């Protein structure tokens, strides 16, 4: 039986789905360090992780049998995607499954901060009755600035407008504005007019420190700030400075530059004592509905790759969608994107009188991927001949 390892409290439906498909599934709580992960991956074919486990080249090199990695979350920056691809490992994620959960948390944060709910709660907990409308506002009529107009940012745009907010957004790529949202040409243009600013950028390394001293200074006096994207994109020292001097009226953080590995681990923040502050432990996508959707979605991608060689929605391999094999065997050939490789594959199969009844080829950058349904089972000699073709990364045969 192929073996799957699921870490970090992935929803039980994922293990259930993989077990039903014939996998021997092992589940573990919490994330693992590099050395712990290498030890745990002994004999493992499929790995499932969330955001706290890092899959490095060292891990990949130590586990040559590893075939696919499922990131049961949106982000994939915890995996070296290029290195994984060049070692023949497909990586999948769940780009849409928890979008609504994140959006609802951000909407909640906006309303709470605008009404100064955290501050009022803080005072009451310390025995102070502060019944006052000072600094409290309705969100209706206020301007929301969304930085990053992808799956989350665009859906947030729609819900914010339903609350009566005016929406502006900034994105490096051309994006279609939904509803009455307005695209800003520069980040400063967005910051200068927004009563609430929320970050929804991706985890690329170039976004490290993206929102810092200059950006906080450019924000509108009395605006609020929200980050539910990546912890390393915002300078928290600068954020504290502008909250303390009264320029920023409040903030909500769901992600942090450094986060504990497991539930129950200690956590400290320089912002914990601020009165109008919402701190949540990276739970943007942590609703039962979202985790259930993610569990079933990613498990299906892993199963389809293992049994069908389908790379639909893979984040690091050319995407080929195939159904069930209707012939004797299926061959999946992952290779460098070099001229003539597919011709050599067909030549080797033809030399063994094996007919190709269906063939799909996809390329992306330096990687090529071919899936072929063939008329006869492949001998070990033929498989070894395919593996020996210069530029071959990995050959998988389903028969």
Query: For residue 202, what are its two tokens?
Result: 């991706």
Residue 312 exposure: Cα atoms within 13 Å on the Cβ side:
12
Token pair for 82: 């290029």
Check if 8 is active-site: no
Specify the residue for token string 């045969």: 397
Q: Is 231 exposed, middle or buried (0-12, 13-18, 19+ CB in 10 A)?
A: middle
**Is 116 noted as a catalytic residue in this protein?**
no
Q: Which member of 50, 115, 230, 348 is catalytic?
A: 230
Q: Which of 115, 282, 301, 348 is catalytic?
A: 282
282 catalytic residue (yes or no):
yes
Q: Token match 């039980």: residue?
A: 12
Distances (CA, A) of 160 to 141, 150, 396: 10, 15, 48
Catalytic one among 259, 328, 364, 396? 259
Helix (H) or strand (E) holding 374: strand 367-374
**Residue 98 token pair:** 């928890």
Q: How far is CA 61 from CA 15, 89, 165, 367, in A?
A: 26, 11, 50, 19
Beta pairing class for 329-336 and 367-374 = antiparallel
Q: In whole angstroms, what is the distance from residue 305 CA to residue 299 CA?
A: 10
Hey, which residues are catalytic here? 230, 259, 282
């Amino acid at each position: 039986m192929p073996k799957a390892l699921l870490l970090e409290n992935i929803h039980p439906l994922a293990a259930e789905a993989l077990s039903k498909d014939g996998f021997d599934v092992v589940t573990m709580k919490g994330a693992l360090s590099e050395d712990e992960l290498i030890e745990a991956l002994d004999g493992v074919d499929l790995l499932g992780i969330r955001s706290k486990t890092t899959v490095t080249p060292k891990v990949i090199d130590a586990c040559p049998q590893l075939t696919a990695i499922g990131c049961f979350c949106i982000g994939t920056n915890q995996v070296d995607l290029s290195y994984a691809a060049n070692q023949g490992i497909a990586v999948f994620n769940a780009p849409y499954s928890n979008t609504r959960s994140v959006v609802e948390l951000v909407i909640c944060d906006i309303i709470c901060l605008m009404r100064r709910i955290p501050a009022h709660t803080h005072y009451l907990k310390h025995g102070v009755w502060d019944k006052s409308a000072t600094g409290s506002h309705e969100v209706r009529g206020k301007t929301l600035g969304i930085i990053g107009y992808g799956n989350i940012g665009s859906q947030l745009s729609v819900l914010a407008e339903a609350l009566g907010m005016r929406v502006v957004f900034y994105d490096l790529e051309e994006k279609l504005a939904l509803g009455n949202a307005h695209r800003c040409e520069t980040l400063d243009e967005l910051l200068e007019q927004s009563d609430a600013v929320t970050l929804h950028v991706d985890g690329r390394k170039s976004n490290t420190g993206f929102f810092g001293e200059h950006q906080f200074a450019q924000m509108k006096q009395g605006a609020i700030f929200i980050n539910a994207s990546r912890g390393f994109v915002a300078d928290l020292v600068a954020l504290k400075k502008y909250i303390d001097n009264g320029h920023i009226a409040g903030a909500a953080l769901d992600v942090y530059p450094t986060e504990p590995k497991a539930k129950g681990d200690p956590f400290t923040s320089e912002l914990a004592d601020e009165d109008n502050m919402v701190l949540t432990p990276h739970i943007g996508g942590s609703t039962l509905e979202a985790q259930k959707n993610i569990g079933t979605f990613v498990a299906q991608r892993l199963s389809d790759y293992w049994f069908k060689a389908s790379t639909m929605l893979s984040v690091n391999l050319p995407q080929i969608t195939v159904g069930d094999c209707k012939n004797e065997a299926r061959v999946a050939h992952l290779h460098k994107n070099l001229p003539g490789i597919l011709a050599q594959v067909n030549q080797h199969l033809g030399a063994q009188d094996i007919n190709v009844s269906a063939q799909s080829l996809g390329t992306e950058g330096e990687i090529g991927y071919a899936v072929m349904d063939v008329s006869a089972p492949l001998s070990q000699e033929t498989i070894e001949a395919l593996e020996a073709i210069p530029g071959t990364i990995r050959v998988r045969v389903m028969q």
